[in-house]
C-alpha cells in the first residue's frame, strides 16, 4: 500500500466554521420557526448533513427558501467569523512539498469551499474540490470520495480521508479508503473513535509521518 493522496473535509477540519454555522442556523431557524427552541446540541446535529437534508427534516414546505436565507446570512458573516485551525497550513505545506496530492470533499457548496480556501491562501495546495453541488449523493455515500479519486487518478488503497464528523469517517469507509479523524473536532476525539477511524490526528503536521509509516511498511 502506498498513500499518494489525502482528501479533507473542509468545515471543522481545516477551518473552524463551527461558530459561524451555529449562528447561521440560529438566525435562520429564528426567522422561520420562531416558536421552536433549539439547543446547541440540536444545532450541532445539523453540522455534517447537507442543508437540504436538514431543512427538509424541519420544514419541507419552506426548505428551499430556508436554504437561500441560510446562505445569504452565512456569506454576510463568513469572513469575520471563520478561523484556520493551528498547524493546518504547515501540515498542508509538508504534504504538498512531499508530492502528496490533496483534495477537498465537503457537504458545502463548491464556490463557498473555494472562497474559504482563498481567504486563508490554502487554494494553492489543492488539485480538486468536490462540493455538495458536484454530486447526486452526499457523504456518507461514497460518491463524493469516488469522484475525487477519479480527479486525482488514485485508487482507494492510495488515499486517506481526513474529517471531523461521523459522515466523514463513514463516507471514507464506504469508499474503501483509510480514514482519519481530527482531535480538534467540535464533538471531540472520543466521539469520532466510536466510528473506528484508522487514525486520530492531534497535529496536522504529523499526518506526513503517518503516511510515511504506511508507505514504508508497504514497500
Please report the pLDDT score of residue 191 as a whole number.
93
β pairing state of 15-16 and 5-8: unpaired
Count CB-CB contacts under 10 A for residue 183.
Answer: 13
- Give residue-wise pLDDT tens across range 73-123: 999 999 999 999 999 999 999 999 999 999 999 999 999 999 999 999 999
Please report the pLDDT score of residue 199 as a whole number.
95
Q: Does residue 131 have a pLDDT over 70?
A: yes
Decide which of 197 and 44 is more confident. Answer: 197
Q: What percent of the chain has pLDDT over 90?
A: 91
15-19: average pLDDT = 94
- Give residue-wise pLDDT tens across range 21-80: 999 999 999 999 999 999 998 998 898 788 999 999 999 999 999 999 999 999 999 999
Catalytic: which of 9, 134, 164, 168? Answer: 9
Kindly state the cell numbers that stand for 16. 473552524
Kindly state the cell numbers that stand for 155. 485508487
- Residue of 79, 82, 71 whose CA lies nearest to 25: 71
- Tell me what the pLDDT averaged over the chain comes to: 95
Is 9 annotated as catalytic?
Answer: yes
Please report the pLDDT score of residue 219 as a whole number.
53
What is the value of pTM for the model shown?
A: 0.90
Amino acid at each position: 500500500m502506498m498513500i499518494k493522496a489525502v482528501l479533507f473535509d473542509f468545515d471543522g477540519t481545516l477551518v473552524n466554521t463551527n461558530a459561524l454555522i451555529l449562528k447561521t442556523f440560529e438566525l435562520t431557524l429564528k426567522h422561520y420557526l420562531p416558536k421552536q427552541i433549539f439547543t446547541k446540541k440540536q444545532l450541532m446535529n445539523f453540522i455534517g448533513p447537507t442543508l437540504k437534508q436538514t431543512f427538509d427534516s424541519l420544514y419541507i414546505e419552506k426548505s428551499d427558501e430556508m436554504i437561500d436565507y441560510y446562505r445569504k446570512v452565512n456569506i454576510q458573516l463568513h469572513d469575520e467569523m471563520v478561523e484556520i485551525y493551528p498547524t493546518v497550513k504547515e501540515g498542508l505545506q509538508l504534504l504538498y512539498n512531499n508530492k502528496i496530492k490533496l483534495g477537498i470533499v465537503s457537504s458545502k457548496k463548491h464556490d463557498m469551499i473555494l472562497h474559504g480556501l482563498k481567504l486563508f491562501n490554502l487554494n494553492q495546495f489543492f488539485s480538486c474540490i468536490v462540493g455538495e453541488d458536484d454530486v447526486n449523493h452526499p457523504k456518507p455515500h461514497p460518491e463524493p470520495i469516488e469522484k475525487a479519486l477519479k480527479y486525482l487518478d488514485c485508487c482507494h488503497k492510495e488515499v486517506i480521508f481526513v474529517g471531523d464528523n461521523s459522515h466523514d469517517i463513514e463516507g471514507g469507509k464506504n469508499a474503501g479508503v483509510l480514514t482519519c479523524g481530527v482531535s480538534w473536532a467540535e464533538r471531540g476525539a472520543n466521539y469520532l473513535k466510536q466510528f473506528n477511524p484508522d487514525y486520530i490526528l492531534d497535529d496536522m503536521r504529523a499526518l506526513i509521518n503517518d503516511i510515511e509509516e504506511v508507505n514504508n511498511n508497504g514497500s
